[in-house]
C-alpha cells in the first residue's frame, strides 16, 4: 500500500511538472512574439468587455450590479456574466497594482497570468485523465498533443479573459475527478463542485453538466453500492455549491426571478432538486437495493426535474435565442462566427471544418474501436460521453469544438502511446511509419496547415490580397484607438464589433455590442447605420450622438453596407459623407475613421 501511494504521488508530481513545463514553453513563445494578443485582441469583444467589467468593479460598481452603463441606450443594460470570473481577475490586478503602484501593470499581469494558470491546470487534468485512461505510455503524448491543442483553440492566449477558458478547466477537472472516483474519497464531491461552478459561470456548459450527472446516475444504476458513495457525494457537492453560488451572486431582490441565460432561481432549483434527489436515492436502502429500483427512483427524479422546468420555467425550454429580434438574428447573430453550425461552416468556411472537427471525430472512431476490442470500461464510458456531447454541441455551434478538441486529446494520446510502444518493442518500418502518422494525425496544427494550404490553392490572387487587406485593417488593435480616446467623452455610433474596443480603449459610450441582451442598443445602431442618412441623422440627434465611427476593413462594416446599400454606412464607405457630419482631420489615413456630428445650424 505504501509503495502504491508513493508511486501515485510520484506520478502526480510528474504530471504537474510536465504541465508547468509545457506552460512555460508556451509562455516563452508568447514572449518571443511580443505578446501580440495583448495589443491586438483580434476581434475578441468578450475579453475586452470583461476587462471593462473588472475596471468597473474595482472602480466601485456594486458586486450585484451587472449593468454595463456605457453600452446600449441611456442607462445601459444588464449583462448575463458572472462575478465569479471578475473576482479573481480583479484580485490579481489589485495585488499587482499595490506592489507596483500601477493599475495598468496590474491589468497586464492579470491578462498574462490568468490564461497561463488556467492553461496549466487544464493540461494537468488532461494528463491525469490520459494516465488513468491508458497508463504511463499515454502521458508524454498527452503533454505534446494536449499543449498543442489547448494553444490551438485560442482561449488560453495572453489577454483572453473570456469565461470559456475557466469553463474548459472546470469541465476537465470534473471529468478527471469522476475518473478518480470511487477510489478517492473526495473526488466525486469535487466533480460536483466543479460542475456547479462551470454552470454558474455560463449556461453554455449545461450540456456537459447534464452529461456528467447522467453518467454518475447511470453508473450507480448499473453498479449499485460500488458507485453509491460517489453518486451521493457528487449530488451533495453539486447542490451545495449551487446554493452558495446563488446566494453569493444573486441579489435578494432577484431571488424570485427566473433567468434562462444566467445563474438564477431556475438553475438553483434544478441543481438542488437533482443533486439532493440523487443523494437521497442513494441513501434510502429500499430505493438503492436493486438495479430496477435504482432505475425507477432516478427515472422519477428525472421526470420531476422535467416537470419543474415545464411548470415553473417553461420559457427555458425554448431555443436560447428564440426571443431575439428577427433583425438582430439576420444582421448580427447569423454572422457571428463562433455561433455557426457545422453545416454553415461546410458552405462558408470549409477550412474551419477540417481544423476543428477532424481530431475529435478521429478520437470518437478510436474510442469506438477500443470499446469493440476491449469492452466497456468505466473510464472509456466517461471520456466517450463527454467527447460525444462536446462534438454534438459543436455540430450545433462551432464554439463547442473548444471542448471536443480538448477531450479528444485523451483517446488520441492513448493511440500515439500505443504506436510508440510498438515502435520501441518491435522496431520496423511499419511501426515507425504508424507512429509518425499517429503523431501527425493527432495534432490540430497538421490539419490546420493542410486546410490553409488547400484554401490558398483555391483562392485567386485578387481574393487573397483582399482577405489580407481586410485582416490588416479590421481595427482590432489598441493602436487604432488613441485618436478616438483623445476626444471629449460622448455617445459613439459604431457597429457592434467596435463596441467593446471603444469601451476598453476610451471613455466613450456606445449603442452596440455583440451581446444578446443589448437588444435596444443594437437595434438603434442598425437603424442608424443601415437607414438612409436623413433617418440616421434623426436617431443621432435624438440620442445625443457626438461621434460616428467606422472601419472599412472590419467584416461587419462590409456586411452591413452590402445589406443596406442606400444606408448611412454604405454611403460613407463610398466616400459620400452627409453634410451633418465632418471628418476629424487627424484620422486621415487611419483605419478607424472618426466623424463629428455638426451642431444644428
The predicted pLDDT at position 336 comes to: 76
Determine contact, residues 408/362, Cβ cutoff 8 Å. Answer: yes
pLDDT digits (tens, 9 = 90+) for 447-457: 888 777 776 66
Judged against a pLDDT cut of 60, whether residue 505 lies above it is answered with: yes
Judged against a pLDDT cut of 60, whether residue 7 lies above it is answered with: no
CA distance 163 to 330: 26
CA distance 280 to 454: 56
* 465 confidence band (pLDDT: 50, 70, 90): very low
The predicted pLDDT at position 530 comes to: 95
CA distance 36 to 32: 10
Give me the mean pLDDT over the 499-527 stretch: 95
pLDDT digits (tens, 9 = 90+) for 391-419: 999 999 888 999 999 999 999 999 999 99
Phi, psi angle pair for 159, to nearest 5°: 95, -15
The predicted pLDDT at position 471 comes to: 47
pLDDT digits (tens, 9 = 90+) for 267-289: 999 999 999 999 999 999 999 99
Cell for 351?
477550412
Q: Between vectors from CA 285 to CA 282 and to CA 289, what angle results, nearest 5°?
A: 85
Mean pLDDT of the chain: 91
Q: What is the CA radius of gyration of the chain?
A: 26
pLDDT digits (tens, 9 = 90+) for 50-87: 999 999 999 999 999 999 999 999 899 999 999 999 99
The predicted pLDDT at position 6 comes to: 57
Q: What is the dihedral of CA 43, 360, 212, 223, to 10 degrees?
A: -170
**Alpha-carbon torsion 361, 366, 369, 370, what sign?**
negative
**Alpha-carbon torsion 487, 493, 495, 496, what sign?**
positive
Q: Between vectors from CA 540 to CA 539 and to CA 541, what angle results, nearest 5°?
A: 95
The predicted pLDDT at position 5 comes to: 58
The predicted pLDDT at position 229 comes to: 95
pLDDT digits (tens, 9 = 90+) for 349-396: 888 899 999 999 999 999 999 988 888 889 999 999 999 999 999 999
Cell for 491?
455617445
Judged against a pLDDT cut of 90, whether residue 207 lies above it is answered with: yes
* 468 confidence band (pLDDT: 50, 70, 90): very low
* 438 confidence band (pLDDT: 50, 70, 90): very high
The predicted pLDDT at position 252 comes to: 93
CA distance 235 to 241: 10
Judged against a pLDDT cut of 90, whether residue 120 lies above it is answered with: yes
| DSSP state letter for 544 | T
CA distance 381 to 410: 13
CA distance 147 to 27: 11
Number of H helices, E strands in the chain: 27, 7
Judged against a pLDDT cut of 80, whether residue 124 lies above it is answered with: yes
pLDDT digits (tens, 9 = 90+) for 555-578: 999 999 999 999 999 999 998 999
518: Cβ contacts below 8 Å, ≥ 6 apart: 68, 71, 72, 77, 512
Determine contact, residues 198/174, Cβ cutoff 8 Å. Answer: yes
Give me the mean pLDDT over the 519-530 stretch: 95
Give me the mean pLDDT over the 180-199 stretch: 93
In this structure, the number of other CB atoms found within 10 A of the CB of residue 505 comes to 19
Give me the mean pLDDT over the 23-27 stretch: 96
Determine contact, residues 106/94, Cβ cutoff 8 Å. Answer: yes
CA distance 94 to 403: 31
In this structure, the number of other CB atoms found within 10 A of the CB of residue 190 comes to 20
Give me the mean pLDDT over the 150-175 stretch: 95
Determine contact, residues 342/176, Cβ cutoff 8 Å. Answer: no
* 461 confidence band (pLDDT: 50, 70, 90): very low
Judged against a pLDDT cut of 50, whether residue 166 lies above it is answered with: yes
| DSSP state letter for 495 | -
Determine contact, residues 360/383, Cβ cutoff 8 Å. Answer: no
The pTM for the full model equals 0.94
pLDDT digits (tens, 9 = 90+) for 327-351: 888 878 777 777 788 888 888 888 8
Amino acid at each position: 500500500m505504501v509503495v502504491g501511494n508513493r508511486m501515485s504521488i510520484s506520478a502526480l508530481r510528474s504530471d504537474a511538472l510536465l504541465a508547468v513545463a509545457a506552460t512555460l514553453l508556451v509562455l516563452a513563445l508568447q514572449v518571443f512574439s511580443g505578446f501580440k494578443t495583448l495589443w491586438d485582441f483580434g476581434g475578441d469583444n468578450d475579453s475586452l468587455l470583461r476587462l471593462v467589467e473588472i475596471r468597473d468593479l474595482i472602480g466601485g460598481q456594486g458586486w450585484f450590479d451587472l449593468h454595463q452603463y456605457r453600452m446600449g441606450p441611456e442607462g445601459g443594460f444588464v449583462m448575463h456574466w458572472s462575478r465569479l470570473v471578475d473576482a479573481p481577475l480583479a484580485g490579481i490586478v489589485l495585488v499587482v497594482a499595490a506592489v507596483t503602484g500601477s493599475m495598468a501593470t496590474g491589468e497586464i499581469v492579470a491578462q498574462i497570468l490568468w490564461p497561463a494558470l488556467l492553461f496549466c491546470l487544464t493540461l494537468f487534468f488532461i494528463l491525469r485523465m490520459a494516465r488513468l485512461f491508458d497508463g504511463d505510455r499515454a502521458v508524454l503524448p498527452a503533454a505534446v498533443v494536449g499543449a498543442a491543442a489547448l494553444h490551438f483553440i485560442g482561449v488560453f492566449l495572453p489577454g483572453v479573459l473570456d469565461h470559456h477558458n475557466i469553463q474548459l478547466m472546470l469541465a476537465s477537472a470534473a471529468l478527471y475527478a469522476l475518473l478518480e472516483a470511487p477510489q478517492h474519497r473526495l473526488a466525486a464531491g469535487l466533480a460536483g463542485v466543479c460542475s456547479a461552478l462551470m454552470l454558474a459561470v455560463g449556461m453554455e456548459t449545461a450540456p456537459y453538466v447534464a452529461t456528467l450527472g447522467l453518467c454518475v446516475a447511470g453508473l450507480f444504476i448499473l453498479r449499485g453500492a460500488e458507485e453509491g458513495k460517489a453518486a451521493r457525494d457528487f449530488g451533495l457537492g453539486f447542490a451545495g455549491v449551487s446554493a452558495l453560488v446563488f446566494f453569493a451572486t444573486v441579489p435578494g431582490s432577484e431571488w424570485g426571478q427566473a433567468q434562462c441565460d444566467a445563474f438564477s432561481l431556475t438553475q438553483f432549483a434544478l441543481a438542488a432538486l437533482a443533486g439532493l434527489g440523487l443523494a437521497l436515492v442513494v441513501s434510502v436502502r429500499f430505493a438503492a437495493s436493486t438495479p430496477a429500483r435504482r432505475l425507477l427512483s432516478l427515472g422519477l427524479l428525472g421526470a420531476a426535474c422535467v416537470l419543474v422546468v415545464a411548470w415553473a420555467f417553461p420559457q427555458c425550454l425554448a431555443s436560447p435565442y428564440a426571443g431575439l429580434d428577427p433583425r438582430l438574428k439576420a444582421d448580427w447573430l447569423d454572422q457571428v462566427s463562433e455561433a455557426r453550425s457545422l453545416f454553415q461552416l461546410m458552405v462558408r468556411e470549409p477550412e474551419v471544418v477540417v481544423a476543428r472537427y477532424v481530431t475529435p471525430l478521429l478520437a470518437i472512431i478510436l474510442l469506438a474501436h477500443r470499446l469493440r476490442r476491449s469492452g466497456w470500461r468505466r473510464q472509456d464510458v466517461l471520456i466517450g460521453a463527454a467527447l460525444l456531447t462536446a462534438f454534438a454541441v459543436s455540430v450545433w455551434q462551432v464554439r463547442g469544438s473548444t471542448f471536443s478538441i480538448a477531450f479528444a486529446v485523451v483517446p488520441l494520446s492513448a493511440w500515439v502511446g500505443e504506436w510508440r510502444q510498438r515502435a520501441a518493442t518491435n522496431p520496423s518500418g511499419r511501426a515507425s511509419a504508424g507512429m509518425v502518422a499517429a503523431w501527425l494525425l493527432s495534432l490540430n496544427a497538421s490539419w490546420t496547415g493542410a486546410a490553409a494550404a488547400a484554401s490558398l490553392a483555391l483562392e485567386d490572387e485578387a481574393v487573397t490580397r483582399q482577405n489580407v487587406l481586410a485582416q490588416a485593417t479590421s481595427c482590432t488593435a489598441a493602436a487604432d484607438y488613441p485618436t478616438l480616446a483623445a476626444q471629449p467623452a460622448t455617445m459613439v455610433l459604431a457597429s457592434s464589433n467596435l463596441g467593446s474596443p471603444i469601451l476598453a480603449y476610451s471613455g466613450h459610450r456606445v449603442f452596440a455590442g455583440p451581446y444578446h441582451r443589448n437588444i435596444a442598443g443594437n437595434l438603434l445602431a442598425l437603424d442608424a447605420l443601415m437607414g438612409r442618412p436623413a433617418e440616421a441623422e434623426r436617431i443621432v440627434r435624438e440620442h445625443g450622438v457626438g461621434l460616428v465611427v467606422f472601419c472599412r476593413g472590419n467584416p461587419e462594416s462590409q456586411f452591413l453596407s452590402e445589406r443596406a446599400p442606400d444606408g448611412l454606412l454604405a454611403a460613407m464607405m463610398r466616400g459620400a459623407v452627409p453634410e451633418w457630419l465632418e471628418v476629424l482631420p487627424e484620422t486621415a489615413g487611419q483605419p478607424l475613421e472618426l466623424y463629428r456630428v455638426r451642431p444644428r445650424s
